Amino acid sequence: MPHRAPGSPHHDQTSYLSGRQIRYYRPTGSPDVRRLIDDGFQAFNAARLSEACHIFSEKMLRPEHDTTIGLTVAGALTPAGLGGCMIELMERGLVDFVISTGANLYHDLHYALNFTLHRGTPFLDDRDLYEKGVIRIYDVLFPADVLLETDSYIRDFLARKDRDLGGPLSSADLHYALGLDLIEKCPGCEEHSVVARAAACGVPIYTSSPGDSSIGMNVAYHELMNGGRVVIDPNRDVNEVCAIILAGKKNGCVILGGGSPKNFYLQGQPTLWEVYGIPKGGNDYFIQFTTDQVVWGGLSGATPSEAVSWGKVNPGVLPDTVVSYCDSTIAFPLFCEYAVGSPNGRRPRRGLLHQRAGLVADLLRQAKARAR
């Protein structure tokens, strides 16, 4: 066998894993951090970050605006320990639904299941890591066993719940069921798991590429090997997100990174006007932290301005849109400190997870009315 799989015999793995354990940091609303952002972040991307804080805290969260807020998550944020920021926002009602890469949700399970990820460095010999059974996500390190055991949990979960879940379901359904199962199996894990906390808070979590993560890989295994019936139906995801957006009095988003989750969120408004014929209008608020660039042509870098021509962003609201070019691992904790410490730092939770059926029915009714 020419290429040994990671996870096979290894020695000296421990030296790679000697860095501090990564824990979900929970923002506390520090006045010092708020002062630094207000007075010290005056120009360039620092000013954009400051603007993002103000738009979020003073406009999107203003009670009378009643903004339905989506958070999209791309990039390895849960491995980097930023799940604590997501938990804090969900718990305080500051985000209403989430669209994430599958990888962020998969790696969140490690925290729920009490596995440990470590701080490390990106400057390692990957051939040796492979030999020693150590997995690297840039500078985050953990044993390959963490993958194997998390996979094993997922397959066990699928086998146990196949009857309940069976048949096409939305990714929000799957993540909800996962979250409830985690809370049951590992009581208290909602303190350090986004998936578990979202289930507890009634926040639906979608993924735009259901087959593209270790969760999706294991669902596929379950279908092929066990004849399992769990299938993510992307149609339901499209329609549920559309319905949530349609129901929003105002709509706004916080986009971490970009990628497929960003596009999936932003296509909600075009789906309404272009496909369903419902003139809802675009987003009222748009905040993005990214390091991608519009000139490189990917959607991650596409600006709120370009989104206007597609009806994704309201033409009149460009002042309430902002892109701050900064690594989310730096910008997002600062942004959350600011939001948590703001006078609007807590809202009633909207509980969208449990209202999806009604919202989709509304979408159907409005679309039928237009189609006449």
Of residues 288 through 347, those in contact with a copy of itself by CB under 8 A are 291-300, 302, 305-311, 314-316, 318, 325-331, 333-334, 337
Size of residue set near a copy of itself by CB under 8 A = 135
Q: Which residues between 196 and 235 bind a copy of itself (CB under 8 A)?
A: 208-214, 216-225, 231-235
**149 forms part of the interface with a copy of itself (CB under 8 A):** no
Q: Which residues between 236 and 295 bind a copy of itself (CB under 8 A)?
A: 236-239, 242, 257, 259-260, 263-264, 267, 270-271, 273-276, 279-282, 291-295
Distance of CA 321 to the CA centre of its chain: 20
Among 9, 63, 64, 127, binds a copy of itself (CB under 8 A): 127
CB atoms within 10 A of CB 362: 14
Catalytic residue among 132, 250, 262, 312: 312
Q: Are 356 and 238 in contact (CB under 8 A)?
A: no
- Strands, sheet with 134-137, edge to edge from the N-terminal-most edge strand: 118-119, 140-143, 134-137
- Beta-carbon contacts of 131 under 8 Å, excluding residues fewer than 6 positions away, are 4, 10
Q: Which residues between 151 and 180 bind a copy of itself (CB under 8 A)?
A: 151, 168
Beta strands at 250-256 and 67-73: parallel, antiparallel or unpaired: parallel
354/259 Cα distance (integer angstroms): 27
Among 9, 43, 63, 187, binds a copy of itself (CB under 8 A): 43
DSSP per position, 3-49: SPPTTSS-SSHHHHT-SPBP--------HHHHHIIIII--SHHHHHH
- For this structure, is 59 an active site residue? no
| Cross-strand bridge partners of residue 21 | 118
CB of 6 to a copy of itself, least distance (A): 6
**371 forms part of the interface with a copy of itself (CB under 8 A):** yes
Which listed range, 26-34, 172-180, 194-202, 246-254, lies at the site for a copy of itself (CB under 8 A)? 26-34
3 state SS of 94: coil
Residue 180 or 318 with smaller CB distance to a copy of itself: 318
**363 forms part of the interface with a copy of itself (CB under 8 A):** yes
Residue 113 or 349 with smaller CB distance to a copy of itself: 113
328/339 Cα distance (integer angstroms): 15
Q: How far is CA 161 from CA 151, 205, 213, 230, in A?
A: 15, 19, 20, 9
CB of 96 to a copy of itself, least distance (A): 19
**47 forms part of the interface with a copy of itself (CB under 8 A):** yes
Beta strands at 134-137 and 140-143: parallel, antiparallel or unpaired: antiparallel
**17 forms part of the interface with a copy of itself (CB under 8 A):** no
Residue 136 or 349 with smaller CB distance to a copy of itself: 136
**Long-range contacts made by residues 222-226, C-beta under 8 angstroms, separation at least 24?**
222/155, 222/158, 222/159, 222/162, 226/158, 226/159, 226/162
Among 53, 140, 203, 340, binds a copy of itself (CB under 8 A): 140
Among 13, 17, 25, 200, binds a copy of itself (CB under 8 A): 25
Among 160, 354, 357, 364, binds a copy of itself (CB under 8 A): 364
Q: Which residues between 54 and 73 bind a copy of itself (CB under 8 A)?
A: none
DSSP per position, 192-244: S-HHHHHHHHT--EE-S-TTSSHHHHHHHHHHHHH---EEE-HHHHHHHHHHH
CB of 309 to a copy of itself, least distance (A): 4
Active site residues: 312
